[in-house]
Amino acid sequence: MQPVQAKVAASEFRELDVKFCVDYKVGTRFAIKVTGGGLPKGSAGLLSTKSIVLIPGDCLTASLQLSRPNGFNRFAFNANLKRALSPVTHNKDLIFLNSIRGFASHLTGDSENLVAGLAIGIDTGLSKQFLQNMKSTGLTHLTAVSGANCAIVLAAFWFLGKKLRIGRKFRFFGSVAALAFYVLLVGPQPSVLRAAFLMTVVLFAYEFGRKVWIPAALGIGSALLLVTDPWLVADYGFWLSVLATFGLVILTPKLTAAFELHLPKSIAVALAATIAAQLWCLPLLAELQGGFTTYSILANLLVEPTVPLITLLGLLSMITGAMSNVLGTALLSVPELFARWIVFVANSLSAAPVRLLGLPTGAIGFLLIALFIVSSSIALLKRNKLAVLSSVLLPLIWFGSQLGGAATALTWPIQGWQIVSCDVGQGDALVIRGLDKIAVIDVGKDPDLIDACLDRIGVARIDLLVLTHFDLDHVGGISGALRGRKVIEAMVSPYHDPRPEAEALKRTLESIAGEVVSPKLGAHGTLGNYSWQVFSSLEGDAQTANQGSLGIRFESADVVIYTMADLDEYAQNLAVGAVSASSKPTIVKVSHHGSADQSPDFYSKIEADLGLISVGLGNPYGHPTSKILKILSATQTEVMRTDKLGSISVRIQHGQIDARVSGAR
Domain with 59 in it: what CATH number?
2.40.50.140
Q: What does the DSSP 8-state code read for residue 473?
A: H
CA–CA distance, 132 with 29 (Å, rounded to integer): 19
Spatial separation of the C-alpha atoms in residues 195 and 452, rounded to whole Å: 42
pLDDT at 8: 45
Residues 505 and 436 in one domain: yes
Report helix, strand or coil for 362: helix
Same domain, 633 and 607: yes
Q: Strand pairing of 356-358 and 419-421?
A: unpaired
Specify whether the CB–CB gap between 449 and 424 falls below 8 A.
Answer: yes
584 and 446 inside one domain: yes
Can you tell me the distance from the alpha carbon of 250 to that of 7, in angstroms, rounded to the nearest whole number?
A: 43
Domain assignment present for 323: yes
For residue 467, the cross-strand partners are: 492
For residues 553 and 638, state if they share a domain: yes
Q: What is the DSSP-derived secondary structure letter of residue 578? A: G
For residue 53, is it left (φ>0), alpha (ψ between -120 and 50) or beta? beta
User: C-alpha angle with apex 461: 456 to 464, nearest 5 degrees?
Assistant: 110
Q: Decide: 186 and 192 in contact? Cβ < 8 Å.
A: yes
Using the 3D structure, point to which of 335, 357, 379 is the last residue of a domain.
357
Burial class (CB in 10 A: 0-12, 13-18, 19+), 621: middle
DSSP codes of every residue in 296-359: HHHHHHHHGGGHHHHHHHHHHHHHHHHH-HHHHHHHHHHHHHHHHHHHHHHHHHHTSS--EEE-
Domain boundary among 391, 410, 429: 410
CATH number at residue 614: 3.60.15.10
> Do 24 and 167 belong to one domain?
no
Q: 458 by DSSP, 3-state: which?
A: coil
Beta strand 461-467 pairing with 486-492: parallel
For residues 115 and 315, is the Cβ–Cβ distance under 8 A? Answer: no
* 529 and 381 share one domain: no
- Report d(CA 191, CA 320) in Å as an integer: 26
Are residue 320 and residue 390 in the same domain, yes or no? no
Nearest to residue 311, comparing CAs of 183, 161, 163, 145? 145
Say if CB 462 and CB 438 are below 8 A apart. yes
Helices (H) and strands (E) in the chain, counts: 22, 22
Distance CA 195, CA 199 (A): 6
Q: Where among 90, 119, 140 does a domain terminate? A: 90
Do 508 and 651 fall into the same domain? yes
Q: Rounded CA gap, 153 and 164, in Å?
A: 17
pLDDT in tens, 432-473: 999 989 999 999 999 999 999 999 999 999 999 999 999 999
Give yes or no: residues 337 and 465 share one domain: no
What does the pLDDT read at residue 390?
A: 67
- The CA distance from 439 to 456, in Å, is 16
Query: Which residues make Cβ contacts (< 8 Å) with residue 246, sequence separation at least 6?
Result: 215, 218, 280
Of 481, 488, 574, 575, the closest CA to residue 525 belongs to: 488
d(CA 547, CA 592): 11
103 and 82 together in one domain: no
Closest CA relative to residue 663, chosen from 445, 365, 358: 358
DSSP type of residue 566? T
Distance CA 412, CA 414 (A): 5
Instruction: Give this prediction's pTM.
Output: 0.56
| Low-confidence stretches of the chain (pLDDT beneath 50) | 1-12
Domain containing 647: what range?
A: 419-661
- Report d(CA 602, CA 577) in Å as an integer: 9
DSSP 594-651: G-S---HHHHHHHT-SEEEE---TT-TT-PSPHHHHHHHHHTT-EEEEHHHH-SEEEE
In a domain? residue 16: yes
> Which residues share a beta bridge with 46?
31, 78
Q: Total domain count for the chain?
A: 4
Do 392 and 454 reside in the same domain of the chain?
no
Residues 341 and 376 in one domain: no
User: Three-state SS for 653?
Assistant: strand
CA angle 223/229/233 to nearest 5° reads 65
pLDDT of 10 reads 39
How far apart CA 617 and CA 615 sit, in angstroms, is 7
DSSP H helical ranges for 439-548: 447-456, 472-475, 478-481, 500-512
* Cα distance between residue 498 and residue 121, in whole Å: 37
CA atoms of 32 and 11, how far apart (whole Å): 20
User: Which strands make up the sheet holding 461-467, listed edge to edge?
Assistant: 513-517, 486-492, 461-467, 437-441, 430-434, 419-421, 648-653, 656-661
Residue 3 lies in a domain: no
Is residue 4 a part of any domain in this protein? no
Q: Is residue 2 part of a domain?
A: no
The CA distance from 57 to 23, in Å, is 6
